[in-house]
Structures are given as structure tokens and as C-alpha cells.
Amino acid sequence: MHRDRPFAREIPDAFAHADQHSADQHSADQHGADQHGADKHGADAALGTPTVGGAPGTGATFVSRTIAPGLTLHKNTDNRRKTNLLNVFWVGVLGDDVTARALIPNCLMRGTTRFPSLQALTRETERLYGVSLSSDVRKIGERHVLQFRLEFVNDHFLPGGESILEEVITFLREVLTQPNLVDGAFEPAVVEQEKETHKRLIEGLLNDKRSYAVQRCLEITCENEPFRRHEQGSVDDLPAISPQSMTELWRDAAATNETHIYFSGSLSLDEAEAALTPILSTDDRTPLQFAPLAEPRMPGEVREVVERMPLKQAKLVMSYRTGVPFTDARVAGLVVGNGILGSFPHSKLFVNVREGASLCYYASSFLERTQALMFISSGIDQARYEEARDLIGVQVADVAAGKFTDEELTATKLALESRLLMLEDSPSALMDIHLAWHLNGAPYDLDAYRKQIVAVTREDVVAAFKEVKPDVVYLLGPDGESSEQPSDSEEVSS
């Protein structure tokens, strides 16, 4: 059992954009220009009917069914694997309680009534042929998502006709709904341990200055929006969290959060519903009513913000408002334009700013489509800050003006198409995409989306970038007393 890395992705929501999502969920800006992605968002099916996504049996096609108010089952068929994948997502509001919500999976995975310790839970996973149980916390736009992930052997591949499906489902139900409580609340020692661990995880963000700079730019850009909050919350909130408040929040999440159960395997929809519905009680559920999705916000006057920390390499992050909603017809042109700008080794930021002018150690761009935002992240010599800022602005203006070659356009579309085709090999990524598109009101059809990308013209890119406007220029510069050594993540291969 394990928890997924809380700061593994540089894009703050970083997990559901179709043309970038990799199986391990790394972000576009994590590993350098030769691995950069564009945007990665995911869609909903008509309930009870299949949604187009890929060839039958590959797991790219979903069928969805409402089980109870606020509880939906999504199932795809994947006959190529020897394991089944089960994800349960609790979707709540990205609000002031985000830090405490982020602790819910940690506390639940410390023990159940029947298996009251982490050691006992681990022994049970081993008995069930090495069941893999993990959790994660993320945000999709202004929604806060708790994820519980279970991977286990398909019964068809067990010896002697043995079946573990029912036992696995029972095990997950106990983890989610029957935690080991003391006097009706999470054990105080467990809560304190998890708070301390969470504090170290949040503080660890400071050690990756590249990701920290992106987060700070995001916070400034969205200072009056819920999206400013990090999915893991804030250290400042931890002291006020008690075993009683954690228990109340867990009960509230289980009863009110919009819940999505995803299953990838060889079961039929009816078989999946019969097997998986017992994971959560359908009684006494009062699902949240989410506010309508916000319209894209446009910037006012460009804000320049400079902050100092002990480091040697300055970090320059620039945010832009795109004006293109998640479901807008211009999305494909925006995604391709972002790819031309800064997602690949042939992109303008890499070729012209990093290689041509030697102004950046790394430079890339990525989209946050849920908020109609684009970010450009770079590592620079502070003495050349203005040169880098201005030349980066020129690259954005050139894309908006259609000043790119046919070769750049073709190479970008081919690269994006390849990434979309690769998604069919990652059931986990497909589930993330499906959920993100569903929550943002977009129809899930990866095949149609891929064809839209391939069909994008120069005029489509220009139309999409027409409303792209700068919002914040953020510089994280050395404080003059740096002892920082460049990390591996700052090295960009050519």
C-alpha cells in the first residue's frame, strides 16, 4: 500500500489532460523540453450508453450508469490484462477545508475495524495475491478529488478456479467506510502522525524551486479564486485539525461527495454493478450541489511580482488567460498552438529562447484548461531577466499571429496524436481523463478529439490564440546568499 506522490506533478491539477497524460501522471514541465506535454484533459458518457474512445476491448471506451444520487459507475472493458483496476473518486469543493480533506485518505489507510493497523492491512493485501492499494489527492478545476485505487488479479488467472473479487470489494469497502475508530473518532496518535507527515510533504515543495515557482505564480494569478489553493492544502491549517474534526469530515465526504467508481477489466456492466455497488452504501446520501462552472476570467493590467529565496538559478513563470472554455470549439487549436509554443523539442521556446538565444536553462508551456489558463515556466540567469521575459512574449505573439512554419504545425500535430494513441495503454490515465471531462461538461470521445487535433489548421491556431492575454509575470530570484545546488530536475537534455 502506498500514497501517490503529492508534488510529483508541476501542473497543479496535473492529471487529466488527454494530450499529455502519461501513465505515471508526470506533468509537461517536469522533465525538460524533450518530454514536455501540452494539455491533458478528460468526459462524460450518456448514462447507460458507451462512449467512443478506442477499439473494443482496449479499455478506451466507457459505459456509465447512475447507481444512486451522486453515485455513478463507469466501466470499460480491457481484455488484454491479467489484473483489474478499480478507482473510487470522492469529489468535493476546493474550499477552506482542503488541508483536512487531504488527510482523509491517509487516515483511512491506517487501519479498519477488522484490520486495525497498517501491518494488518498489508497482510490482507498479501493474502489477496498482492492487491495494490493506494490513494491520491488532486484538484480538477475548483473541485477537490480524493482517489482510492485498487489493482488486483483477474479471477480468470487464479489457480483452481479461485475467486477473490468479492473479498477485494469487501476489503475496499471496509477501508472507506469502517476505519479503526477509538471512542468514535480516528485514533489521536494516528491523526498526529499523519499531520506531521503531511507537514513534511507540504514543506518539501520548497525543495523543488521549479514547481514552487509555478505554484506561487498560480496563487498570484488566481488570488481571488478557489483554484489558488494547492490540493494538499497549507501547513498553517494543520494545528486546528483534531481527531473529532477529521472524523466528521470523513463522514461528510462519504455521505455528500459526488462519487465515481471506475472499473477496468473483463466484467460486463451488470456484473460490475452487482459486484461494485456494495463498496458504498446508497442510503442516506445527500450529494453536493456544485456551483455552475465559472466563465473564463480575463486579466486586467499585467502584474510583475519578484520574490527572493536562497537559490542560484532564477525561475521565471508567466501566466496567461486564454479566454477559451473547456468545451469551446477552439480547444483543439489552443492545444496545438501551445504545442508549437512550448511542449516539444521543436517548439519555439526551446528552439528560439533556450537554444537560439541561450536565455533559459529550460523553458516550456502548459495549459490548465479547467481555468482557461496557460503557463510558461523557465529557468534563467536573473541578469538576463528582461531579455528572457521579452523574447518569451515574442514567441507567444508569433503563435497568435500565425508566424510558424508548416513543419512546426505538422510535427506538433503528429506528436500530440501519438500521445493520444498511447493513452489506450493506460487504464488509469483514461479514467482520469474521463472524470475530468465529465466534471467539466465535455463529451468523452478521444477518437473524435484526436481527429480534431489532426485537422487543426493555421487559422484555427490563430483564432484560438486571439484572446490569449498575459496576466502575471513572476520571478523567483536569488537572495544574494544562495547555497542552492542545481537539482537534476533543472537539467534539460537537448
For 383-394, the pLDDT digits (tens) are 999 999 999 999
Looking at residue 291, what is its pLDDT?
A: 85
Q: Please tell me the predicted confidence (pLDDT) of residue 266.
A: 87
Residues 308 and 272 in one domain: no
Give the model confidence (pLDDT) of 13-55 as tens digits. 323 344 433 323 333 333 333 333 333 333 332 233 334 444 4
Question: Which grid coordinates belong to 401?
Answer: 499571429
- Identify whether residues 349 and 433 lie together within a single domain: yes
255 pLDDT higher than 80: yes
β-strand 132-140 against 2-3: which pairing, if any? Answer: parallel
Q: What is the pLDDT of residue 282?
A: 65
Report yes or no on 153 lying in a domain: yes
The reported pLDDT for the residue numbered 294 is: 83
Mean pLDDT of 69-93: 93
pLDDT beyond 50 at 163: yes
Q: Which amino acid is at 130?
A: G
Residue 453: the pLDDT is 98
Q: Which residue has the higher pLDDT, 13 or 440?
A: 440
403 with 328, same domain? yes
Q: Which of 264, 279, 294 is where one domain is finished?
A: 279
Beta strands in 46-125 (DSSP E): 50-51, 58-68, 71-78, 83-93
Residues 174, 263: one domain?
yes
| Residue 14 confidence (pLDDT) | 28
Which of the four pLDDT bands, split at 50, 70 and 90, describes residue 2?
low
The larger pLDDT score, comparing residue 362 to residue 482, is at 362
Average pLDDT, the chain: 87
- pLDDT value of residue 79: 82
Calculate mean pLDDT across residues 440-451: 94
Give mean pLDDT, residues 270-282.
Answer: 86
With beta carbons less than 8 A apart as the criterion, state whether 133 and 115 touch. no
- 213 with 104, same domain: the answer is yes
**Count of the separate structural domains present in the chain:** 2
Question: What pTM value is reported for the model?
Answer: 0.87
On whether residue 130 sits in a domain, the answer given is yes
CA distances from 477 to 61, 307, 381 (A): 47, 6, 9
Same-domain pairing of 224 and 323: no
> Which helix (H) or strand (E) element contains residue 146?
strand 143-153
**272 is a domain residue:** yes
448 and 355 in a common domain: yes
State the pLDDT at residue 278: 86
Domain boundary among 231, 264, 279: 279
* pLDDT at position 484 over 90: no
268 and 416 in a single domain? The answer is no
Q: pLDDT exceeding 70 applies to what percent of the chain?
A: 85
Domain shared by 164 and 245, yes or no: yes
CATH code: domain of residue 428: 3.30.830.10
pLDDT confidence tier of residue 284, bands split at 50, 70 and 90: confident
Contact 431, 262 (CB under 8 A): yes
Q: Is 288 inside any structural domain? A: no
Question: How much is the pLDDT for 286?
Answer: 85
Q: Are residues 458 and 318 in the same domain?
A: yes
Torsion of CA 113, 117, 119, 120, to 10 degrees: -20
Domain membership flag for residue 263: yes
Q: What is the mean predicted confidence (pLDDT) over 438-453?
A: 94
Domain that holds residue 442: 303-490
What 61-64 contacts at long range (C-beta under 8 Å, 24+ apart), as own/partner pairs, is 62/430, 62/434, 62/444, 63/269
76/325 Cα distance (integer angstroms): 28
pLDDT digits (tens, 9 = 90+) for 176-229: 999 999 999 999 999 999 999 999 999 998 789 999 999 999 999 999 999 999
151 in a structural domain: yes
Nearest in space to 26 (alpha carbons), one of 464, 319, 419, 410: 419
